[in-house]
Structure 1
Amino acid sequence: MGGGETVIFREKFEDRMRRIRMAGRAVLGQALPDDAPWYVLCVQTGREQETGEAVRDCGAEVLVPMRKGKQRKRRGRILPAVDEVLMVGYVLVRTAGTAEAMSGLMSFERVVGVLGGWERPFPVSAGRVQDLIGKASGGRYDWDRECSITVRAGELVRISEGLFGGNDAVVITPNGQGKGDVVVEVEMFGQKTPVILPLAMLEKL
C-alpha cells in the first residue's frame, strides 16, 4: 500500500471476548485462605467431572461432590451402587471472586454460567461446603438412604441444607418412596431455577 496509509485491523468482538476470558485463567490458581468462599459453576449435565478437571488443571481448587447412586437390577441380580455426581449440573470452585477470575471460568467449553452471574457471583461459605462434603461422604445423600418424608407435586417445601439451604422451593416431581431425588423449583436472583436435590435435603413446611 502506498501513500503512507495506516491499516487498522479490528478484532472481532467474539475473538476479543475469548482473549479476555483466556487471560482470566491466569488468576485462577491464586493462593487463598482456608476460609475463602467457594463459587458455583453451572455446567452441562454429565460434564461435571470433566469440567472440574479442566479448571483444576489451571490451578483452582475444585470440588465435585459424589454419592452412592441407585442400586440396579440386571437379569435378576442386584448390582452394587456406583458413585455418581451429587449436584447435577454444578461444580464448586474456590478462586478469587473478581470479574477477571469469573471471566476465566467462563472460558471453559462446558461452562454455561456462574451462579448469581459473573458480575456478582454467589459466594458459598467454606463452612457450608465442608458441611456438604462431610454429609455426602458419610452417606447422608446416597440414593437409597431412607428419609422420613414424602412430597407431592406442587407442594411447598424448605431446602434445609446444601448450597440452596434456607430457601423455599416448589416440588416439580413427586416422591412417595421416602428415598432418592426430587426436582424442585427454587427462586434465586430474581428467577426460578429447577434443581435436582436428594430428598434428605428437604423438610416440610
Structure 2
Amino acid sequence: MTTYGEIAANAFEAVPEKFEDRMRRIRRQYRSRLKQPVAADAPWFVLCVRTGCEKCVEAALSEAGVDVFVPMRKGKARKRRGRWLPPKDEVLMVGYVLIRCVCSNETMNALMSFEHVAGILGDWEKPFAVNSEKVSKIRCKAGSGDFNYERPVDISVKAGEIVRIACGIFSGLTGEVVTSNGTGKGDVVVEVEMFGQKTPAILPLAMIEKL
C-alpha cells in the first residue's frame, strides 16, 4: 500500500525545475574559474544585484574566492522618542557590487550562478570596467567618511540640472539631476547615459560637481 509520504515525495519530484534555477545550477560548474589569479592593477567590474542584497552577495562571492568589494558609509541620523540615534552603516552603491576576476564567458556565467545577481553593468562581451586606481580612491574616501550621509558639502542641485560626477564608479561622466537637494548633505539621484540608455544612480552630493 502506498503511503501518504510516498505520494507527497513523488509529487514533489514531479514538479518541473524552474528555468532560472536550472540555469543557475548549470552555471555553478564554472565557479572554479573565478579563482584564477588577476594582476594587482586589473580592472573591476560592476555586478547589478537585487537592492538590499549587496552584502549577502558579497559574502557568497567572498566565500567562493572572488575578489569583491562593497563600499560602506554612515547613513542618515534618525530621531526616535526624542533621542538622536547614531547613524548606522549602510551600502554606498545601492544595487551594485564590485568584483575583480578574469573576464571570460565561463566567469561571466559563474557570476550569474549566485543568488540575487541580476547581471553585469554593460554587457557580457564588453562589461563596464572600473580601473583599480578609481576603486582605490572610492575605498579611501569611503573609509575616511567623505561619503557619509550627514557630511556637509557646499553644493545644492535642482532637478533637470546637468552635473559632472567627480568620484565613484561613474566618475568623469555627466548626468541629469532627477531629485533636487538643497540641504547641503545627503544624496541625489542622477541619470547617467550609458550604453545608449539612461541609468539612474543614487549618489552622495560629495560625489558630484556643477558644470
Q: Which amino acid aligns with 1:153?
A: A
Task: Check if 1:60 corresponds to 2:66.
Answer: yes
Distance in structure 1 (CA, Å) of the matches to 2:210 and 2:50: 30
RMSD: 1.6
Alignment TM-score, normalising by the size of structure 2: 0.88
Match of 2:83 in 1: 77
Matches within 5 A, 1:186-205: 186-205=192-211
Match of 1:4 in 2: none
Distance in structure 2 (CA, Å) of the matches to 1:105 and 1:142: 30
**How far 1:14 moved relative to its partner?**
6.3
Match of 1:87 in 2: 93
Q: Which amino acid aligns with 2:75?
A: G
1:123-169 Cα offsets, whole Å, 9 max, x none, are: 11111100000000001100011111100011111111110001110
Residues 36 and 107 (structure 1 numbering): CA distance in 2 closer, same or farther, change over 3 Å? same
Match of 1:160 in 2: 166
Match of 1:104 in 2: 110
What secondary structure sits across from 2:130 in the alignment?
Answer: coil
Task: Check if 1:41 corresponds to 2:47.
Answer: yes
Distance in structure 1 (CA, Å) of the matches to 2:22 and 2:75: 43
1:52-105 Cα offsets, whole Å, 9 max, x none, are: 111111110111100011111111101011110000000011111112111111
Distance in structure 1 (CA, Å) of the matches to 2:19 and 2:93: 34
Q: Which moved more, 1:179-188 or 1:24-33?
A: 24-33
What secondary structure sits across from 1:28 in the alignment?
Answer: helix
Within the candidate set 153, 168, 188, 1:147 is matched to 153
Match of 1:32 in 2: 38
**How far 1:24 moved relative to its partner?**
2.1
Distance in structure 2 (CA, Å) of the matches to 1:23 and 1:120: 22
Which protein has the bigger helix share? 2
Distance in structure 1 (CA, Å) of the matches to 2:20 and 2:85: 48
Task: Check if 1:118 corresponds to 2:124.
Answer: yes
**How far 1:16 moved relative to its partner?**
6.9
Percent same amino acid at aligned positions?
A: 59
Task: Check if 1:173 corresponds to 2:174.
Answer: no
Task: Check if 1:127 corresponds to 2:133.
Answer: yes
Residues 177 and 26 (structure 1 numbering): CA distance in 2 closer, same or farther, change over 3 Å? same
Residues 13 and 196 (structure 1 numbering): CA distance in 2 closer, same or farther, change over 3 Å? closer
Distance in structure 1 (CA, Å) of the matches to 2:100 and 2:119: 15
Q: Which amino acid aligns with 1:124?
A: V
Moved >3 Å (runs of 4+): 12-20
Distance in structure 2 (CA, Å) of the matches to 1:25 and 1:116: 21
Paired residues in the alignment total: 194
**How far 1:109 moved relative to its partner?**
1.6
Q: Which amino acid aligns with 1:28?
A: L
Q: Which 5+ residue runs of structure 1 have no aligned equivalent?
A: 1-11
What secondary structure sits across from 2:175 in the alignment?
Answer: strand
Match of 2:11 in 1: none
**Contact 2:75-2:90 within 8 A present in 1 as well:** yes
